[in-house]
Structure 1
């Protein structure tokens, strides 16, 4: 075996790798932010909505959690034009990620909501708080503290799953790596560098989330 590693050929395209990594972060951040809105609304509907709405949310969760993410991406990008809705590759990738993370987020937030004791809710009612105030102040904030590790893990998984969106030419890191590989024919070097970037991003976010948890969620209350 006389293969010679030439990482210089890959690093010559570092602006494209950096742009792909940045797009991955933007795509993941937007998807997580919008997906959490979907998750909060869905969790509220599932825990206190009327039966038809709860059944609809359950159907959405089961559909997304029991089908491959790649198929969901293809359905949105290739299937939706059949019904008159055509999206760009980046928009389709964002929508697919939102739909996917929303389904998982509903179950995470629902578990956090159900971890709140009924006594706290009754105390909020006795203070004259409105239902939305009870949900926002009494239920949601303590629930977030309980589910924070799961939410941060979900963000890391979402960022890594965004690589699947390269299948529809969304301009993220894996797609950039594929373009570079097609020009340099340095498959090992290109994907080794891409893997290293994903690993570095994951470690950075793990450290960031851990720091936020130590600083804000585990800090004892001061009087």
Structure 2
């Protein structure tokens, strides 16, 4: 009979919590940088020339139709063959940014195109320039429409980031793997990781829901 032993978990909670903090840091950094890539990609797809749209389409389709594991392997193990080497943490961040940038491009593009054309025409009739139209006419309605998708993408990104431990990047999954190798309490440690990831996802989901109700006047769900 298996003898459960949670002492290695309780004795190393600081290590697991630090790993969770690294996961949150990595996810936020990747999301912020990925949003910049996404905005540029969405603007290119909605307002750019044919060549630029074609390049963005290739990027989006290439990332969305290949596994994230292969992408991170290519960046960390493949690029050094042509002289581009990165530390595990840098490679993890770059892979996450590239990945979320592709998905975010389509999310933001859909948000921009969801704004009724009549509102844009009204902005032009008021002699607003393109920047003013984007800021005062398109931005808030688009954000309102895509906010659930963007926040879901962040949570998905945070959970997907556990894959980066496979190249020895520092995160919660890596902390758990290291602790498991030292204590052999595999069941207990990975159960603890499951609970921590769930609490992180649930906590951010609750926070994003509260922010949505505050900034976009959504009623609380019943």
Q: Classify the TM-score, shorter chain.
A: over 0.9
Question: Hey, what's the Cα distance between the residues in 2 that align with 1:218 and 1:17?
Answer: 37
Runs of 4+ with >4 A deviation: none
1:219 offset after TM fit, Å?
Answer: 5.9
Alignment-derived partner of residue 192 in structure 1? 191
Give the number of aligned pairs.
219
Question: Hey, what's the Cα distance between the residues in 2 that align with 1:97 and 1:141?
Answer: 26
Q: Please report the TM-score for the alignment, with normalisation by the length of structure 1.
A: 0.95
Alignment-derived partner of residue 29 in structure 1? 28
Contact 1:156 1:202 in 2 (8 A): yes
Contact 1:10 1:184 in 2 (8 A): no
Alignment-derived partner of residue 160 in structure 1? 159
Q: Please report the TM-score for the alignment, with normalisation by the length of structure 2.
A: 0.96
Contact 1:17 1:177 in 2 (8 A): yes
Alignment-derived partner of residue 18 in structure 1? 17
In structure 2, relative to structure 1, the CA distance for the partners of 1:154 and 1:219 (3 Å cut) is closer
Deviations 1:111-151 (CA, angstroms, capped at 9, x unpaired): 11111111111111122222122223321221010111111
Question: Hey, what's the Cα distance between the residues in 1 that align with 2:101 and 2:136?
Answer: 22
Superposition CA RMSD, Å: 1.1
Alignment-derived partner of residue 62 in structure 1? 61
